Structure 1
Amino acid sequence: MKYKIAVCRFVLPVLLLLLIAISPSFAQQKMNQFITGLMAKMTVQEKIGQLNLVVGGEATTGSVVSTGVEEKIKQGKVGGIFSVSTPQRIRRIQELAVQQSRLKIPIIFGMDVIHGYRTIFPIPLGMAASWDMQRIEESARIAAQEATADGLNWTFSPMVDISRDPRWGRISEGSGEDPFLGSAIAAAMVKGYQGKDLSADNTLLACVKHFALYGAAEAGRDYHSVDMSRIKMFNEYLPPYKAAIDAGVGSVMSSFNDVDGIPASGNKWLLTDVLRKQWGFKGLVVSDYTSVNEMIDHGLGDLKAVSALSLKAGLDMDMVGEGFLTTLEASLKEGKVTMAEIDRACRLVLEAKYKLGLFDDPFRYCNDVRAQKEIFSEAHRKIARATAARSFVLLKNENVLPLARKGSIALVGPLADAKENMVGTWSVSADVSKATSLLAGLKEVAGTGVQVRYAKGANVSEDAALEARTSVFGKPWQRDSRHPDTLIAEAVRLAKESDVVVAAMGELAEFTGESSSRTDLNLPQSQKKLVDALLATGKPVVMVLFTGRPLTITEEDQKLPAILNVWFGGSEAGYAISDVLFGDVNPSGKLPATFPRNVGQIPIYHSYKNTGRPLVGDEFQKFRSNYLDVSNTPLYPFGYGLSYTKFEYSPVKLSKTSLKGAEKLMASVTVTNSGKYAGEEVVQMYLRDIVATNTRPLKELKGFKKLLLQPGESKEVSFEITTNLLKFYDHNLRYDWEPGEFTVFIGTNSRDVSSANFTWNR
């Protein structure tokens, strides 16, 4: 009997593991059989119809709007719709597909759910500044819960484009300049959206974008050409996309730009050789908004030619342009495309719908009860408020912050009472009327012991046309018609009567985002004049900086005693900013993108390579790599961010200094909170490969940990270093590590670090 029990204890777990191992193949087989059977019934027109993605609401990223959508649905000529929401509207549209089309194939419904659905979190660049993967994943999880409660099942997010040019407006929509940080965020977002079961009614099919290199547009001008070496692509720009693929992302969006001279939407090397063959991606690839049609202007032929080129390259779904719908059948007859290529694309679209459970229940996302209970809930708003507060970056503080809860505060500036702009760019589903302005938040959080008075002080810009161009997407801007001197005089009078001044400055929300590139990254002149007038009162001035990109605020850094960068914090921004200003939350954000001193330094980033004539020190040297008129150093380095407390670092300690083969190295520091406030610190680890067959960066981020320390508390922070962290793509695109000497740096940002050397041999 004991023998039988022992056998059972051994055999049963093994059998269970075997069942778990083979169950995905059963599910795959079942899906394949279903889709093969369905496709056998489909006409060529119906297959091509599945490749057609149309816009059902207002255009959010282009000027073209789909027409005749209802009739096309009945004819089986629509595979997906985006920019439509609410269970009622989606149910009506889905009924057209599953009741009035011949094969009753359900439609997939998407939207640009970028940093929240109704409960809006900080813009993605701000979320990246938190360096908190748990909070980032949670934000995507909440976005998925709310979006699916409103009938959606597909999001065009995360955007993982690396950008080192803050002139590019869409830097606000990504995670900044670094591939290691960007990769971690990409994986966290995919996990948050998709969860563990795509067929659940509260998970979204994620779509990583924009594949590829979109953030490297020349001159920082949106949609512009991109030109870079493949070694730079693979080492610095492609890793976040690969991280999303490895995390199981279900779809990929091609980018507007060209790659190696071929637009991404028609680039077979990119969409098939790299994405599918090299990386093993098995999901669907969708174009960006009319990007197939735009290949005509790239100079690759007429609509029929570029549509055929895109399909053959590996594109599966055509967003809005309808080139697939109107030309592929003719191209098939002419032998320009094959039936196998159409079948491939159709199958991948149908597979996405199958995985979402739409064939089992086309209306599984149309739940009125969920929509009423789960959208913009008190619990979600509380999380958004806490998350926003931890994304803010304290850039400067000369004993002004946190503010005391007493006396009087003059709140001035064009962004002080601008609740519509708090949600930032790419918040297409936000109800901006429910956002909280800084004025409202400050009054509530300050309590009865503080008098808060407000004056606008200035318009965002003296250029009325510029303001008008950025008052879009439900974010109207009311320009003050009074003379600029009158506005400043009112603010100055208020400042003189107050104990401290909080100046809400910076950009409007749509100064960044798509088609919002800028060449001047200074504060507008209207705001500079206001800052100078406020400082002239002699009162302490705290600048609360609203921005979707690194700005060139060198003058403000020199003049102001305190600067808090709050990005655009989302629905609860006003409360979150106030929480930090009064010290209820100690700021812990760190910059995910370098702040230049002026636009002439761009591109500027931390992981640059050395030259044959490097500058030694900071002073100008002739015939060395530097500028005549400005330092090489940035205003604020990557990873930078202050706290209300002070963190001290011990020297780096290594477990060994000589390693071989598959050994592991532990690099450690002790971090001490030597201040009087509890605070969170992001401990950052960088590596340098000193001698290699290719030129290597002077520093590369390869690890980070966020920890909470009480006053006087110390913790040892350790990073495990393996040969995987030493790998890079060489000039032959071989991915491996090379033996030799290395340096590890650990510190509070990419500049302020301590270091230690080690050697590693095969």
Structure 2
Amino acid sequence: MPNAAPIRSEAPQARSAPDLPRGAQAGTPEGIEALIAAMTLEEKAGQLTIMPAALAPSLANAANPEAISGTPSQQEQAVREGRLGGVFNGDSADWHRRMQHVAVHESRLGIPLLFAADVIHGFRTIFPVPLAEAAAFDPELARRTARAAAEEATAVGLAWNFAPMVDVSRDARWGRGVEGAGEDVLLGSLLAAARVEGFQGARLDDADAMLATPKHLAAYGAAAGGLDYAGADVSERTLREVYFPPFQSAFGAGALSTMAAFNDVAGVPCHANSWLMKDVLRGEWDFEGFVVSDYTGDFELIAHGLAEDERDAARLAFAGGVDMSMSSALYARFLPDLVRAGEVDEAEVDASVRRVLKLKAALGLFEDPFNRLAPARTEKGHAPTHRELAREAARKSLVLLKNEGGLLPLARSAKIALIGPFAAGHDHLNGPWVLFGDPRQATSVEDGLRAAMADPQALTVAAGCAAEAEIAGGIDEAVSAARAADVVVLVVGEGERMSGEAQSRLDIGLPEPQRALVEAVRAVGKPTVLILKCGRAMTLDPASEASKALLVAWFLGVETGGALADVLFGDHAPSGRLPVSFPRHVAQSPFHYDRKITGRPPLSLQHGEEFKARYRESLNLSAWPFGHGLTYGDVAYADLDAGAGRMAWDGSLEVAATITNRGAREAEELVQLYIHDRAASVTRPIRQLKGFKRVTLAPGASERVAFTLTRADLTFVGPDLTWIAEPGRFTVWIAPSAETGVEGEFELLKP
């Protein structure tokens, strides 16, 4: 992909400033109209252009393809001439202040700049990656971590966040699933709203508020073959039932910008999809904010085979409903001429500029362009409260898959061999999409465990191998450490560059050097805890799966070591649940729990049964299902009660079950409610999550957990592509995961 050209002067501008309102008055509806009336076409195109910051940290520059954004002085001049409306992924408060001064005091119209960034899971304090945080099934936690990230990021002037990512992800091969909430529509919708509320705070014009940008519209997570940027050939019904609801939830929570997706949907690239951006987004959903392109996404319409050249790409993107061009500078270069040539209506340009200016006003930038520039506030990046929140979030994100014989929690006095490529050091802890955090601030697994042990010297550490490469003598060293230990803790999985954008994988198992390490260490015969670090669902080889305890640790951020120690030694019990199904084999991908049941469903769990929806080699079930996760208790479900088993059309139905902790330790259980529509005018999924609740049970205690269903919970997109409910019978489960639970049934009565 060619580099985008820097913003340059290409047409004369008026020299004198018109008699226009300034400051807060410029942000009123009347002031905005006066500004638009006074703008040249070049200045209008400038407001619809955002470029990578000329001063940005190296991690931010490495996160995207290289772009020629110009030097700091060139960008200042572009702002001075009204040809640049914002920059992104800078973190210098001093330079942001200088740029804002140029915009407000040295440009003809004095319109403030938007400073934006990708603050995906923390700014200075790095929290668990969003997929990990989704495992907590806790929208309030997501709101709190987003709020903390906004407090830190706004202190350097950032007012606009390119997050949250709300794409539903059902193919573990796709690397960007690490940025989202997993495979479920309900969970994804709840977390989308919570993160928007966290980033934006109480009021958008507060000094610590960031405009949220739910992305990527739409169906980016449906990439064919799990290949990043590939097309999504999905039906309109699937769009409306699966991929649209998290966006609608985010917009309902107040998000006023969104980002177009790189992919096409049914052959039409999202960056030129007027049905998606105009008919649905603005028409059906009454969205009043603005749409920004993804990084050079408008330019990429050429490679898609839709646009003939850069000028045509600018025309198609703007006609498709993309208000603002990111990184390519296509609007700055071509939009004025397209208007003069009659190929773009200037009234439409004015409408896009109006949306951008209204958002700048809503953010309080006209009233006080410098209100978010508070460098002293950046010290909160390592404030105890944010570190404490990071540790809490990391603990709640851990998912215990298996704990044979009650191996966990470990005794603090045990001799432990900590083995694996991620056992020591600060790398690979924070995860992908960390642009502004310092990895040296992260607590390593080794440091976390030593601090919690009775004798720190009873911990022996051996890497064994690198993430994707052998280390000479590494396995021998690891085996020796295992032999001398009481228990082995193996920390394996993905390096942080193995998940994320452009990191699709053919094999979602452990890299071969790690498999060899696990096999050699397991052969020693010591009790083994396998900790899986990852940004996606993974498949486990037989040696890994045979470990007595399995703990999914994702990428947990700055408090990785401390959070792991909290759970491994029993200060806190694990409470996370899988937000994605872990398949048995990569060939099952895309795999998700709420798939269709088919006309020849597997009626038994016997291998070899023919003429059923199954593979020859394996059951068509997960290795570890959505919603699965253990505590240190022993939890049982019994006695589902669906009342009379009938729900009136405008009524409700209470469904309850008894949850009992049969173990010797307190248990925190995530109780889940699922339904299945047994006969409908459109085929329905095997199960759908409709609610979840947390209960804490003392040893031996029981609690009756109840959910209330209404007709709204039973709706789906019908034959005419509108949301409907139909009378009939439903199966209902109260369950610890999507493949288990106690079962009952009820009937929705006719109106």
How far apart are the structure 1 equivalents of 2:49 and 2:162? 16
CA shift in 2, pair 1:61/1:445, >3 Å: same
Q: Is the 8 A contact 1:412 1:501 kept in 2?
A: yes
Q: Could you tell me which residue of structure 1 aligns to residue 627 of structure 2? A: 639
Deviation at 1:549, TM superposition (A): 0.6
The question of 1:333 aligning with 2:333 is answered no
- Tell me the amino acid that sits aligned with residue 511 of structure 2: P
Q: Could you tell me which residue of structure 2 aligns to residue 445 of structure 1? A: 452
Q: Could you tell me which residue of structure 2 aligns to residue 433 of structure 1? A: 440
CA shift in 2, pair 1:334/1:30, >3 Å: closer
Q: Give SS of 2:639's match.
A: coil
Q: Could you tell me which residue of structure 2 aligns to residue 664 of structure 1? A: 652
Q: Is the 8 A contact 2:215 2:259 kept in 1?
A: yes
Q: Could you tell me which residue of structure 2 aligns to residue 688 of structure 1? A: 676
Q: Could you tell me which residue of structure 1 aligns to residue 29 of structure 2? A: 32
The question of 1:63 aligning with 2:50 is answered no
Q: Could you tell me which residue of structure 1 aligns to residue 50 of structure 2? A: 53
Deviation at 1:318, TM superposition (A): 0.4
Structure 2 residue corresponding to 1:759, chosen from 729, 747, 751? 747
Q: Could you tell me which residue of structure 2 aligns to residue 675 of structure 1? A: 663
Q: Is the 8 A contact 1:588 1:681 kept in 2?
A: yes
How far apart are the structure 1 equivalents of 2:624 and 2:618? 14
Structure 2 residue corresponding to 1:581, chosen from 548, 561, 568? 568
Q: Could you tell me which residue of structure 2 aligns to residue 299 of structure 1? A: 305
Q: Give SS of 1:330's match.
A: helix
Q: Could you tell me which residue of structure 1 aligns to residue 506 of structure 2? A: 519
Structure 2 residue corresponding to 1:240, chosen from 246, 258, 266? 246
How far apart are the structure 1 equivalents of 2:372 and 2:195? 21
Shifted more, 123-132 versus 699-708: the winner is: 699-708
CA shift in 2, pair 1:662/1:562, >3 Å: same
Structure 2 residue corresponding to 1:618, chosen from 600, 605, 622? 605
Where do 5+ consecutive residues of structure 2 fail to align?
A: 1-23
How far apart are the structure 1 equivalents of 2:111 and 2:668? 51
Q: Give SS of 1:459's match.
A: coil
- Tell me the amino acid that sits aligned with residue 675 of structure 2: L
Q: Is the 8 A contact 2:638 2:659 kept in 1?
A: yes
Q: Could you tell me which residue of structure 2 aligns to residue 543 of structure 1? A: 530
Deviation at 1:422, TM superposition (A): 0.5
Structure 2 residue corresponding to 1:737, chosen from 719, 725, 736? 725
Q: Could you tell me which residue of structure 1 aligns to residue 13 of structure 2? A: none
Q: How does 1:181-330 map to 2 (within 5 A)?
A: 181-301=187-307, 302-330=309-337
Deviation at 1:554, TM superposition (A): 4.3
CA shift in 2, pair 1:317/1:442, >3 Å: same
Deviations 1:28-80 (A, max 9, x none): 99832221122222222111100001001325222324123222111111111
Q: Could you tell me which residue of structure 1 aligns to residue 8 of structure 2? A: none
Where do 5+ consecutive residues of structure 1 fail to align?
A: 1-26, 463-479
Deviations 1:453-499 (A, max 9, x none): 1111112223xxxxxxxxxxxxxxxxx7x52xx11111111111111
Deviation at 1:339, TM superposition (A): 0.8
Deviation at 1:177, TM superposition (A): 0.7
Q: Is the 8 A contact 1:406 1:449 kept in 2?
A: no
* Structure 1 residue ranges (4+ consecutive) displaced by more than 3 angstroms after TM superposition: 27-31, 447-450
How far apart are the structure 1 equivalents of 2:534 and 2:425? 13
- Tell me the amino acid that sits aligned with residue 355 of structure 1: A
Q: How does 1:9-24 map to 2 (within 5 A)?
A: none
Deviation at 1:524, TM superposition (A): 1.5
Q: Is the 8 A contact 2:85 2:114 kept in 1?
A: yes
Q: Give SS of 1:682's match.
A: strand
What TM-score comes out, normalization by structure 1 length? Answer: 0.92
Deviations 1:343-381 (A, max 9, x none): 011111111110110000110011122123x22211100
Q: Could you tell me which residue of structure 2 aligns to residue 94 of structure 1? A: 100
How far apart are the structure 1 equivalents of 2:119 and 2:177? 17
Structure 2 residue corresponding to 1:355, chosen from 362, 378, 385? 362
Deviation at 1:449, TM superposition (A): 6.7
The question of 1:179 aligning with 2:185 is answered yes
How far apart are the structure 2 equivalents of 1:243 and 1:34? 32
Q: Give SS of 2:357's match.
A: helix
Deviations 1:500-550 (A, max 9, x none): 111111110110000001101121121112112212222111111100111
Structure 2 residue corresponding to 1:103, chosen from 109, 129, 132? 109
What TM-score comes out, normalization by structure 2 length? Answer: 0.93
- Tell me the amino acid that sits aligned with residue 455 of structure 1: A
- Tell me the amino acid that sits aligned with residue 66 of structure 1: S
Q: Could you tell me which residue of structure 2 aligns to residue 467 of structure 1? A: none
Q: Give SS of 1:645's match.
A: coil
Q: Between Structure 1 and Structure 2, how many residues are aligned?
A: 715
Deviations 1:305-333 (A, max 9, x none): 12112112211110011111100111111
Structure 1 residue corresponding to 2:466, chosen from 444, 451, 459? 459
Q: Give SS of 1:54's match.
A: strand
CA shift in 2, pair 1:665/1:554, >3 Å: farther
Percent of residue pairs bearing the same amino acid type:
42
Structure 2 residue corresponding to 1:118, chosen from 124, 138, 142? 124
